[in-house]
Amino acid sequence: MAAATLAAAAAARPAGTHRRWGLLGRRLGFYLAAAWSAITLNFFLPRLMPGDASGAIIAKLQSVSGQQMTPSQLEAIQKIFGDPNSNLFAQYADYLKQLAHLDLGISISSYPTPVSDLLWQGLPWTLLLVGVTTVVAFLLGTGIGALAGWKAGSRFDTIVSPLTIFTSAIPYFWTALLALWLFGFRLGWFPLSGGSDANIPSGFSPSFVLSVLRYGALPAATIVFSALGGWLLGMRNMTVTTVREDYVLLAQAKGLSGHRVLLRYAARNAILPNFTGFALALGHVVGGALLTEVVFNYPGIGYLLYSSVQQRDYPVMQGVFLIITLTVLLANLLADSVYILLDPRIKEGA
């Protein structure tokens, strides 16, 4: 049977492959256009907000010193941070030119640190913590959800599903604070704050890696705990509907083993919506996890974005937004491409 399928696939390949490449190409064009409009919005939106970068600096300096600034001071500051009255389109051209050189500009609040330095300071932490937890939560949730949906109404399902509804209703910050208090403070199993032991120089030394794992375990566990429910319930409910499909019945009638029917027939189809959600979630990984970062004092992009908005640090805001939009687009592109390969029903014109 396997040989027959292969032969049929080989015969269909030329036309099918061509169509797939055409589809991918068009998608690619769409994504390029989307990226351009994201970059453009990214530039104009902050500038449509009331206030400007120089103004933010001036306000801050005045509130620190309690003195009115002289015109020469204002001019000096505008020379560094940009004159809000200069031509917007000239600024836009400069911005595009900068981006083409992969230059994200210089942070205003942390002047003269380049935005890319600040991003690099937070990005690895965020990718590690949120990336790993997103994948783990997806795998765990989807796996348990498939099992619960496969035997809907079983004891496993009647315990796990309501429990998940309950846990996913708990606000994240509360979970995090409780975990910090219980496991960090009362039981003393985990450190209370930070991303690693600050006394160990960062690098790829075993002691540093261990310390990163130890500091990251509790924040990661809280994120997985909170995110698990969504995946689990989504997968469970999709599995419940797919197991009633005729092709599953057929597979069962053929006498295939239970787990084979579950994994190859039911779960494979039930996973598609969850997979879309997963691709989107991956895209949002770089946005960071602000609440986690705040409660556990974990380094990352979330707090950087939050503080840049507070301080109207436009270059940093733009930098973070740019990374987020590009990653979301990239994740979507990947999802689209994998989807085409994964789900035989999606075909142009079919």
Partner 1 sequence: MPSTRRAFLVRAGATAAVLPMGLAACSAGTRGASGATPPLVFGKTDGGTTFVHNFNVFGPALEKTPNAEMIYESLARIDYSDGAKVKPWLAKSLTFDTSGTTLTVVLREDVTFSDGKPMTADDVVFSLEIPLRDPIFNIAGTTYDRVAKVNDTTVTVHWPTPAFSQVSQLASIAAPIVPKHIWAAQDLKSWTNPNPVGTGLYTFERFTSQQVTLAARSDYWGGRTAVQQLKIIPTSSDALEEQLLRGEVDWALLAWPNAQQAYVAPDPKHHIYQKYATGGAFSLFFNTAQEPFDNEHVRRALAMTVPRTQIVTTLGRPGTEAGPTGLVDQIYEKEILPQYRGKVQQVDGAGALRELALSGFTVQGGRLVKDGRSFAPKLSYDTDYGWDPYANMMIRSWQKLLGISVTPVGAPGANLYEQQQVGAFDLTISTTGGAGLAGVYSALSSSAYVPIGQKAVTNLGRWKDAATDAAIVKLESTNDPTVIQEAADTLETIVAEQVPYSPIYESYWFVLINADNWTGWPTPEKFSYVPYLGLGPDSTLTLLNMKRAS
Q: Between residue 69 and residue 88, which ones bind partner 1 under the rule CB under 8 A? A: 69-70, 72-73, 76-77, 80
**Part of the chain binding partner 1 (CB under 8 A), chosen from 134-142, 151-159, 279-287, 337-345:** 134-142
Q: Which is nearer to partner 1, 309 or 330 (CB)?
A: 309
Least separation in angstroms between CB 304 and partner 1: 8
| Site membership for partner 1, residue 247 (CB under 8 A) | no
Of the residues 66, 203, 255, 349, which one makes contact with partner 1 according to CB under 8 A: 66
For partner 1, give the closer residue by CB, 219 or 283: 219
240 versus 301: smaller Cβ distance to partner 1: 301
Q: Shortest gap between Cβ of 316 and partner 1 (angstroms)?
A: 10
How many positions of this chain bind partner 1 (CB under 8 A)? 79
- List, in order, residues 6 or more apart from 102 with CB less than 8 Å away: 116
Residue 287 binds partner 1 (CB under 8 A): no
Region near partner 1 per CB under 8 A, out of 14-22, 91-99, 102-110, 148-156: 102-110
Choice from 136, 272, 340, 346 touching partner 1 (CB under 8 A): 136
**Interface with partner 1, residue 127, by CB under 8 A:** no
279 Cα distance to chain centroid: 9
Cβ proximity to partner 1: between 18 and 79 the closer is: 79
Is 295 among the residues that bind partner 1 (CB under 8 A)? yes
- Positions 182 through 241 that interact with partner 1 (CB under 8 A): 183-185, 188-199, 201-202, 210, 213-214, 217-218, 221, 224
Smallest separation, CB 293 to partner 1 (Å): 5
The nearest distance, CB 234 to partner 1, in angstroms, is 17
